[in-house]
Chain A
Amino acid sequence: MIKFLLMVNKQGQTRLSRYYEQVELGKRASLEADVVRGCLARRKEECSFVEFKDYKLVYRQYAALFIVVGITENENELSIYELVHNFVEVLDKYFSRVIMFSLDKVHIILDEMILNGHIVETNKTRILAPLLALDKMAES
């Protein structure tokens, strides 16, 4: 099961966080800081998975941005590693023309893919369909 997904920059500033298990607001900032520290401490030649508290972290770096997923023991690390990439490909597909800050839209995309900590959709067309429909309706 997926416990959380974070997008963090190299300075450790959170760009997006989604928790699939209740974590108190006050504790999130320090948890995220620890997660980033854990990932930044890793070297390039080391694997993309690292233990962290009760979770295993799967992280993937895109330029200055880290995407980190906290998962439980029974999850398949490599499939999550590729899920991150699938997510990024979807983002790339959607935002390729209009680059702008869209915290809400990234969330909407993510909600199509992961629900209650489970992977519910990986088909790119289907992930984007509701958002594209929304955009179309908003336009008209």
Chain B
Amino acid sequence: MSDVVEKTLSALPGLFDSQTGAARITSRLRQLVKSITELTSKHEEESLIKQELSSMKEQVSSPNTSMKQMREIMVRAMYCEMLGYDASFTYIHAIKLAQQGGVLEKRVGYLAVSLFLNEGHELLLLLVNTVLKDLQSTNVIEAYMALTVVAQVFPKDMIPAVLPLLEDKLSEIIRRKAVLALYKFYLIAPNQVQHIHAKFRKALCDRDPGVMTSSLHIYLQLITESPDDYKDLTGSFVTILKQVVDGKLPVDFNYHNVPAPWLQIQLLRILSLLGKEDRSTSELMYEVLDESLRRAEMNHNITYAILYECVKAIYTIHPKAELLEKAARCIGNFVLSPKINLRYLGLKALTYVVQHDAKLALQHQMTIIECLDHTDFTIKRETLELLFRITNAQNVTVIVEKMLDFLHVYEQCTTSYKMNVRCYVPMITLTFAPDNSWFIQTMNDVFSTGGDLLQQDVPNNFLRLLAEGKREEDDQLRLYAVNSYLTVLNGDASHLPQRFLQVMSWVCTTTHTHTHTHTHTQNKNSAMRLIQILVRDLKKSYLLNISVRLYSNFKYHFSSSTLILEGVKRVWGRDGYLRQNETTAPPVDEPSAAVQPSGQQEAAERLEPQPEPSTQNQDKLQLASSLFVGLGAGSSMSLLGKSEAPPPRFRKKPRPHESSSSSSSGTSERSSDSSSRSSHSTTDSFLYGSLLEEEPATSISAFSHTPKSSTANGLAQNKDTKEDRRANTSQILGGDMVIVRPNTFQDKHPSLVSSDLTALLPADLKDLPHSDVISLTSDPSLSLSSCRLFRDEALLLVILISNCTETVIKDVAVQLTCEELEVWNVMNCLEGNSTSVCHYALLMDEPHTNVSFTGTVSYQTQPGHTNTLSFSGTLSAADFIRPLVVSTEEYGKLWLSLSHDVKQNLKLLTDASDPLRTTLNALKDALQLHVVDIIGSEGIVACRLLSGAPCLLHCRVNGAALAMWLRSPHPALPDCILYHCQRALAQH
């Protein structure tokens, strides 16, 4: 805006307050406005307006009041109503004024009618005759005024009376207004104007641009409703836009030298509706869209407004690569602009286009991160909107964390514009939750901070998900939920929203009735305790209805099961249930450490000094890498010099309602990336991801955090050590770290053990990447678990022997038999409830796909009385494979020197955007390979067996398959690796 205009505009408020030059006729209004302005209280205003209204009442009923005076009264009445005071006694006089006044009075009368009366107001019928008379007036101004009011407010039932007159006006000079009146009729009674569609077309082709513009409102409406019926008009719209863009309109249609910008916007909207999912129609408009992009180079707000619509149109219609590219570049001009309004619109455009191509967000990573930290609520809000659109299984934790941060800061953010950020969190949580604990914790956070502001379908979906699963892991999810509620209720429960308490009571009812497998006792017991607490808390305060419902729910179960009946009796008794239960039920008293809110935990981690030089920029790069992970092959990690997405800590749990919830969030890239995710907001946490088993299905699953025998204190320590380990490894390995991770491992002994025994590993082994702890066997005295640690020079098999009894067990001896070695390990004694560790370094000399080991533990509970306990397990060749870090040249030399080769076609993971890279990464994740290089459709990969034999893999995309050529000095190794590759891809 020019300075000159700005200056003249600064005088604008004077329009309303000015003391000078006031005409007589407006003096009373001026007086009124002035008095109101000077008042200090609402009360004073009220009495003043009341006074004013009663004096107006007198005036309007006086026979001496002239039309001119009446007009002045009417403006005052408008003012009073504008301030919120009822002046309905003037309505009838407004109609009279329109009927009887001269042109200026008539106009004010019509204006007052349009301001005072809603559609359907009975007084409107009194206006019809006046309108009919004026439409037939020879005075074009009167007819114009009548059309104006018809286009604003008109009784639906009277449309037939006025329609013929309106149609006549379509050929007159004021036809523009007649078209707008028809548009109004179309909106309120579309059937009444069915027959004049031909006249709409005529209006579209009118030589007056104003008439044509008016007809576009009708067409935008019609085309929104049924685009297929108007495809034949595409050419016309394209031609019109072309003429506008080329500046063929009269100069007075320009706004700041831009030709009819709002008209351009309207046309672009129409074109995008027509071209959507229609290739041939889209082809008609490519040229003019290109032209629009090119012309809009002037640096003015309004050109950006046009560009925004243009970009949207290009991404809505059938895609054309060249245009998409130009449009994407164009967005850069917005988001990089120092002008905040442009930046906002750029974010909005980006939010729109990432729904079609999530990778576009990658180009503007740093800008997005800056906007996320922006102090402006609107910018922040729009950025979260954008992140919501690009959420995938890998970045969900970081994005949810950002959203929850936002909700904590803007607690009062109840705006229902678009959708609440509050509702995004559960939506993506339900869809992408990487594991049970995170899922439940996030949902608890959502429910406890403003749960009552959620839409009802959020708790509904959550509860349905919890209720329906019939597998063991679903039971575990429920148990986890119940345990976390116990923790929540241990604190101050008085601030919890009613919605959350409802959810809790419902979950425990459901948990109690829907438990299917052996964990059921645990589940039922926990649910009972929760019920007890809920009933206790609820009874003493609010929410009596919930406790009544709980009671009635469980009363129902009284009759169905005596076991449950007993439980309920105890719930309603005094403390008895709780105390007795502790001996048999799992210790759920101290779940606090297990259910520590992940958000807080991560927040605390961020506060810790980084091992790397932690400049602000570094933080941003790291945030970027975790936010934009999974959006495009390789590109997300490029900022940190990594070329791969982090491995999953947990396999994503398949959720029964994933499809429905993802469809409601409406993004396209949802289905991919289910297997890997970033575990934390910092990249150095990647390694942490390898510490836990990938497949929780039969082994320890998501409950590895739940303490069994350790106290809350002990567990907290355990957490610390893990974090230390994480920091250490990242320091050691730095940016070029090769991720060593375990392969999938089928446990033959499904375990009930859920203790975090990894804490018991010797200190010098703690830093090593390792598998989950799997239970091997147990008897009443001892329980045995094993854990595999992946050392660079060997596989360490750790056997953990826990004494489950209170008494000391003596002379414990462990014998492990394997093909490679045989070791004795003798301990003198094992204290009650303690755990001892034996570890064995294993090497695989000859490649075998799987090897098994067996062993026995002998021990004495009483002197002279020896017990033995045997165990067995399987190790896979993949446990003995390590990445072979070589350069491309070294690889080439080595390749030529190797003798044994195997060729085979493998499955290519074609669902991703970069199949080769995705497939190689999947193999790398599963088998600890080193991807040396990827060139075009070929990739070279290297690994070695622990004993030293290398194996080189040459991979080439061959149609829908991956042609793999393996070479090794060892004849059996390629077959062995091939087997594990096939298996890894099959499981992917």
**A binding-site residues for B, Cβ under 8 Å:** 7, 9, 11, 13-18, 22, 25-26, 28-29, 45-56, 62-65, 73, 76-79, 81-83, 85-86, 88-89, 91-92, 95-96, 98-104, 106-108, 111, 115-116, 118-126, 130, 133-135, 137-138
Contact = CB atoms under 8 A, between A and B. Distances in A.
Contact of B33 (A78, A82, A101, A124): A101
Interface residues of B, number: 87
23 contacts: A46-B378, A65-B13, A76-B345, A78-B341, A82-B255, A82-B301, A82-B305, A83-B262, A89-B9, A95-B15, A101-B16, A101-B18, A101-B29, A104-B71, A104-B78, A107-B115, A111-B111, A111-B152, A120-B214, A123-B210, A137-B104, A137-B141, A138-B103
A116 B83 contact: no
Nearest to A112: B148
A115 B180 contact: yes
Contacts of B373: none
A14 B82 contact: yes
B341 A99 contact: no
B125 interface: no
A50 B377 contact: yes
A78 B210 contact: no
Given A76-B309, A116-B187, A137-B141, A122 B260 contact: yes
Interface in B206-260: 210, 213-214, 217, 252-253, 255, 260
B557 interface: no
A88 B17 CA distance: 16
A88 B12 contact: yes
Given A46-B375, A82-B305, A100-B18, A14 B83 contact: yes
Nearest to A58: B341
Determine chain B's interface SS by DSSP, over half rule. Answer: helix
A21 to B, nearest CB: 10
B417 A73 contact: yes
B859 interface: no
A56 B12 CA distance: 25
A103 B75 contact: yes
Contacts of B305: 76, 78-79, 81-82
B103 to A, nearest CB: 5
B457 to A, nearest CB: 18
B5 interface: yes
Contacts of B36: 13
Given A13-B36, A51-B415, A86-B255, 7 more contacts: A11-B37, A16-B16, A18-B115, A47-B344, A49-B378, A64-B13, A77-B345
A78 B29 CA distance: 35
B25 to A, nearest CB: 9
Given A47-B341, A101-B29, A138-B103, A122 B262 contact: yes
A65 B385 CA distance: 31
B849 to A, nearest CB: 57
A119 B15 contact: no
Contact of B104 (A76, A78, A134): A134
A99 B18 contact: yes
A83 to B, nearest CB: 7
B152 A99 contact: no
A6 B1 CA distance: 21
B103 A137 contact: yes
A52 B210 CA distance: 33
Contacts of A92: 5, 8-9, 12
Interface in B772-808: none
Given A89-B5, A107-B115, A99 B15 contact: yes
Contacts of B184: 115-116
B83 A29 contact: yes
A101 B214 contact: no
A86 B300 CA distance: 13
Contacts of A14: 82-83
Interface of B: 1, 5, 8-18, 20-23, 26, 29-30, 33, 36-37, 71, 74-75, 78-79, 81-84, 86, 102-104, 107-108, 111, 114-115, 118, 141, 144, 148, 151-152, 180, 183-184, 187, 210, 213-214, 217, 252-253, 255, 260-263, 265, 301-302, 304-306, 308-309, 340-345, 348, 375-379, 381, 415-418
Contacts of B17: 101
A5 to B, nearest CB: 12
A116 B302 contact: no
Contacts of A126: 210, 252
Given A29-B83, A76-B265, A55 B417 contact: yes
A14 B36 CA distance: 11
Nearest to A11: B37
Contacts of B348: 77
A99 to B, nearest CB: 5
Contact of B26 (A54, A77, A100, A133): A100
Nearest first, the 4 A-B pairs at minimum CB distance are A29-B84, A79-B305, A78-B305, A46-B376
A113 B15 CA distance: 19
A127 to B, nearest CB: 10
Contacts of B255: 82, 86, 122
Contacts of B114: 111
Contacts of B343: 47
Contacts of A86: 255
A30 to B, nearest CB: 8
Q: Max chain A CB contacts within 10 Å: which of B74, B141, B342, B381? A: B141
Given A13-B36, A116-B152, A25 B13 contact: no
A46 B377 CA distance: 9
B330 to A, nearest CB: 14
A25 B83 CA distance: 9
Nearest to A16: B82
A124 to B, nearest CB: 7
Contacts of A54: 416-417
Given A47-B344, A101-B22, A103-B75, A138 B13 contact: no
A100 B23 contact: yes
Contact of A79 (B33, B111, B115, B261): B261
B103 A104 contact: no
Contacts of A134: 103-104, 107, 141
Q: Max chain A CB contacts within 10 Å: which of B26, B78, B255? A: B255
A78 B308 contact: yes
A78 B334 CA distance: 12
B15 A91 contact: yes
A79 B265 contact: yes
Contacts of B75: 103-104
A104 B16 CA distance: 11
Nearest to A41: B377
B376 A115 contact: no
Contacts of A130: 141, 144
Q: Max chain B CB contacts within 10 Å: which of A64, A76, A121? A: A76
Contacts of B261: 79, 82, 122
Contacts of A28: 82, 84
Contacts of B263: 122
A43 to B, nearest CB: 8
A82 B302 contact: yes
Contacts of B262: 79, 83, 119, 122
Contact of A47 (B22, B151, B302, B378): B378
Given A56-B417, A73-B418, A124-B252, A79 B104 contact: no
A62 B381 contact: no
Contact of B417 (A52, A62, A88, A98): A52
A85 B1 contact: yes
Contact of B340 (A7, A16, A45, A102): A45
Contacts of A7: 16
B78 A103 contact: yes
A123 B252 contact: yes
B415 A53 contact: yes
Nearest to A10: B13
Contacts of B217: 118, 120
Contacts of B377: 46, 50-51
Contacts of B148: 111
